[in-house]
Copies of this chain bind each other. A is one copy, B any other.
């Protein structure tokens, strides 16, 4: 479905993969991982969600047919090695890149699942997994409780995007328009929830 505008989508896919990999590599470097470990964590953050999705859908994992994801993660590692100490000034930029990646990955996950013949509710789960499961694998690798289970609206932005997709399908919209609205929903909800510090309620552990 995304083939109507290959170059533009490829650019955001590269930007998103790069931003996801950077997030993994930075957290790995905070735990003194070596270059190999940092690369694997960065790669897992970038491609982990889509890999689980493809295993569940029983299709060939997307990164096994195109080496761009390996290259992109290697460039992210090189970037951190060379410019690591300036990265903190780019935090805001990477936050936007990461949100762009989250939006695109959600749309790709939903499309791929619907194309495989599954119903909408499965597609919403797969879209959310494509966007958010890589971060869970990253946090398991660095031996921390997954961030998205405790803080911030992250995966819920993907779910909201999925609901927007579902809603749009009720109207007679083109595929491209549905994808843009979905991606924009994910992006905007993610940005606003961080800006206004909107969180989900926490379960109180002492009661249960």
Which residues from chain A sit less than 8 Å from chain B, CB to CB?
A: 25-26, 28-38, 40-41, 51, 55-56, 58, 60-61, 64, 67, 70, 80-81, 84-85, 87-88, 118, 121-122, 125, 136, 140-146, 148-151, 155-156, 199-205, 207-208
Contact = CB atoms under 8 A, between A and B. Distances in A.
B31 A205 contact: yes
A33 B149 contact: yes
Given A35-B203, A141-B146, 16 more contacts: A29-B207, A32-B203, A34-B200, A34-B203, A37-B146, A37-B149, A38-B149, A40-B149, A40-B155, A55-B55, A56-B64, A58-B58, A84-B207, A140-B140, A141-B149, A143-B144
A41 B30 CA distance: 26
A35 B201 contact: yes
B29 A149 contact: no
A66 to B, nearest CB: 10
B143 A25 contact: no
Contact of A156 (B25, B30, B36, B148): B36
